[in-house]
Chain A
C-alpha cells in the first residue's frame, strides 16, 4: 500500500462518456521516491493517466490515491509539468519562477533567493533577467523545470516535457532533471514516447498498449545512480534494457 508520497491506482477506468474507454481496470502502484517512466504510442492514454493522478479527469470506475488521499487539482503536494512550458511572456525568467512560488504560498522575501538558486541549478543563473521571448526552446523548458522544483512538491508529474527538443538538448535537460531529482528523490512520473529517455531517467519503465489496452508490461531499469544521460548512451547495460523496453512496446502496439 503506497501511502505517504506514493500513488495507487486500483481498477481505474476512464472513458470520457464514450463506449470505448481510454483504459479500463488499470492498476498501478508507484512507491514514494520512485522514478517511473510511462511509454506508449500516441493516443494510448498517457496524458489521461497523468490527468487522473493530477485530479483533472474524473474516474468512471475504480479508486485512486495520491499521497494517501484522492486526487484533486491544484493540490499543494503535486507539481505537474506540461508539455508546453506555459511561461508568462510578460515576466522575466526570475519573475516566472517567483510567480509559481507566490501561488504556492512561499513568503515574499524568500522568493527571489529561492528562484535564483533553482535557476542556477539548471544553468540559467546568467539569464534570470531575460524575457521568455529571448530564450531558446531548451532554455524555456529549463525554466519550467526550475519553476517546478523550486516549489518543492513531493510528487512530480511530467508529460513529455522534452519531446519538442533536439537530441543533444534533450540529453542536457535529462541531466538537469536527474540532478534536481537526486537532491531529495521525490516521486516522479515521467511520460515520454522516447524509450531511450525513459531508460536513462527511470527506475521502472511502464509500457502502455495502443487502443485502450492499458498497462501491458513493466521493464525494471537496474542501472546505478547517479546517472549521466551522455555516459549512458555508450553503456551496453543501457542498450540491453533499451532493447527489452523496445520489444515490450512493440508487443503493446500489437506488432
Chain B
C-alpha cells in the first residue's frame, strides 16, 4: 500500500508539468522552434551549407508553392493509392496466411525457412526486379510495398495467435465451444492488439516501399518528385515533399488509431491479464 502511494507521488511530481495536455503541446512547440532556430543559425554562421540543407524559410515557401501548385496533388494521389492498396493487401494476406500457418503446424514447419529467406532479402534491392516484372506503373510499387507489409502483419498476427491464453481456450472448450467458436470468440479478439501494432508499422513500411519504388522508376508519384528535385539539388522541395509524406503517414495512422480505439477499448490498462 505504502509503496504504491510513494511511487504515485514521485511520478506525479516528476512529470507534473508535462502531464498537463496544454503544457505538453506548448513544450513540443518550443522544441520545434528551437530546432528551426538552430537550423537557421547553423546556416548563417556557416556550420551547415545552405545549398545542402536549405533553410526553414525556403522550406516553408517551397511547401506553400507545392500545396498551391498543380504538381503535388496528382502525384500525391498516385502514392496514396499505392500505399492504401498495398496496406489492404498486406493486412488481408498477412492475416489469412497467419491463420492458415497457425492452424497447420506441418505446413508452417515446411514453409517457415522460405518465408524467412524471402523476408531477409533487402527489398530495396529487389526494386528494379519488381519494375521489370510488374512494369513501370503502380503495380510494381504496390508489389514492393506489399512484400514489406505482408511479413509485418504475418509475424505480428502469428505471434499473437501463438500465445493465446491456454486457460481461455480450455474454459471455452469445457463450456462446449467448437473450433470455429474458439477462433471467433478467443483467438481472433486475443490477437487484435498485436494485429494493430503490426498495422501501424505496416503503414510506415508500405509508404517507404511505394516511395522507393517510385524513386527507382516511375511516371508519377511523390518518389518521382523526390528523385527529380534531388537531382536538381532543390533541397527545399525535397524537404517539403518529405513533410507531405510525414503528414500522409500521420493521417493514416490517425485513422487506424480511431478504429483501434473502438475495437480495443478493453485492452487499455489490461495488458497483463490477472487471475
Closest Cβ–Cβ distance, residue A105 to chain B (whole Å) = 7
Please judge, given known A-B contacts A82-B171, A86-B167, whether A103 and B270 are in contact too, CB under 8 Å. no
The answer, yes or no, to whether A99 is at the interface (CB within 8 Å) is yes
Known: A73-B174, A133-B269, A133-B270. A88 touches B275 (CB 8 A): no
Which one of B17-25, B117-125, B175-183 is at the A interface? B175-183
Contacting residues of chain A (66-99) with chain B, CB-CB under 8 angstroms: 73-74, 76, 78-80, 82, 84-91, 99
> Smallest Cβ distance from A100 to chain B, in angstroms?
5
Contact between A105 and B176, CB atoms less than 8 A apart = yes
Q: A82 and B170: CB pair below 8 A?
A: yes
Interface contact B270-A76, CB-CB below 8 Å: no
Q: Which of B114-157 contact A (CB under 8 A)?
A: none
Question: Which residues in window 159-186 of B have CB below 8 A to A?
Answer: 165, 167-168, 170-177, 181, 185-186
The answer to the question of B189 belonging to the interface, with a C-beta cut-off of 8 Å to chain A, is yes
| A104 to B171 CA separation, bound complex (whole angstroms) | 12
List the B residue with the shortest CB-CB distance to A88. Answer: B168
Given contacts A86-B168, A86-B170, contact A103 B266 (CB under 8 A): no
Inside 8 A of B269's CB, which chain A residues have their CB? Answer: 133
Q: Which residues of A contact B273 (CB under 8 A)?
A: 89, 132
- Check A103/B177 contact, CB under 8 A, given A86-B171, A131-B266, A133-B269: yes
Docked Cα-Cα span, A160 to B32, in Å, equals 57
Contact across chains for B175 and A100 when beta carbons are under 8 A apart: yes
Residues of B within 8 A of A133 (CB): 266, 269-270, 274
- Asked if A89 and B167 make an inter-chain contact with CB atoms under 8 angstroms apart, the answer reads no
Contact residues in A for B177 (Cβ distance below 8 Å): 74, 103
Bound CA span A133–B267, Å: 9
Contact A89 B175 (CB under 8 A): no
- By CB atoms of chain A within 10 A, which of B168, B174, B266, B274 has the most? B174
Residue A151 is within 8 A (CB to CB) of chain B in the complex:
yes
B173 near A74 with CB under 8 A, answer: yes
Query: Which chain B residue has the least Cβ–Cβ distance from A80?
Result: B174
Question: Closest Cβ of chain A: how far from B270's Cβ, in Å?
Answer: 3
| B267 neighbours in A (Cβ, 8 Å) | 89-90
Contact B176 A84 (CB under 8 A): no
Q: Which of A90, A103, A132 is close to B172, meaning CB atoms less than 8 Å apart?
A: A103
B266: chain A residues at CB < 8 Å are 89-91, 131, 133
A79, A87, A137 — most chain B CB neighbours (10 Å): A87
How would you classify the secondary structure of chain B's contact residues: helix, strand, loop or mixed? helix
* A103 adjacent to B181 (CB under 8 Å): yes
CA distance A82 to B175 in the complex (A): 12
Task: Provide the residues of chain A in CB contact with B274, threshold 8 Å.
Answer: 133, 137, 140
Min C-beta distance of B26 to chain A, whole Å? 33
In the complex the two chains form, is B270's CB within 8 Å of A84's CB?
no
Query: Measured between alpha carbons, how far is A80 from B175 in the docked complex, in Å?
Result: 8
| A90:B170 contact, CB within 8 angstroms | no
Q: Of A104, A105, A137, which is within 8 A of B275 by CB?
A: A137
A146 contact set on B, CB distance < 8 A: none
Question: How far is B273's CA from A137's CA once the two chains are assembled, in angstroms?
Answer: 11
Which residue of the partner chain B has the closest CB to A151?
Answer: B175
Q: Is A54 an interface residue (CB 8 A)?
A: yes
Q: Contacting A84 at CB < 8 Å: which of B172, B181, B186, B275?
A: B275
Cα-based distance from A80 to B275 in the complex (angstroms): 16
Q: Which residues of A contact B174 (CB under 8 A)?
A: 54, 73-74, 78-80
B167: chain A residues at CB < 8 Å are 82, 84, 86
Give Cα A42 to B173, complex, Å. 26
Which residue in B168, B172, B186, B270 is a CB contact (below 8 Å) of A131?
B270
Query: Once bound together, how far apart are the Cα atoms of A51 and B114, in whole Å?
Result: 41
Report chain B residues within 8 Å CB of A151. Answer: 175
Residues of chain A from 40 to 83 with CB closer than 8 A to chain B in the complex: 54, 73-74, 76, 78-80, 82
Whether A89 touches B171, Cβ cut-off 8 Å, given contacts A99-B185, A104-B176, is no
Residues of B within 8 A of A54 (CB): 174
Q: What residues of chain B have their CB less than 8 Å away from a CB belonging to chain A? A: 165, 167-168, 170-177, 181, 185-186, 189, 266-267, 269-270, 273-275
Provide 6 A-B residue pairs closer than 8 Å at the C-beta atoms, listed in order of the A residue.
A74-B174, A78-B174, A80-B174, A82-B167, A82-B171, A89-B273
20 additional A-B residue pairs with CB within 8 Å, beyond A89-B267, A132-B273, A133-B274: A73-B174, A74-B175, A74-B176, A76-B176, A80-B174, A82-B170, A84-B167, A86-B170, A86-B171, A88-B168, A88-B185, A88-B186, A89-B273, A90-B267, A100-B175, A132-B275, A133-B266, A133-B270, A140-B274, A151-B175
Residues of A in contact with B (beta carbons under 8 Å apart): 54, 73-74, 76, 78-80, 82, 84-91, 99-100, 103-105, 131-133, 137, 140, 151
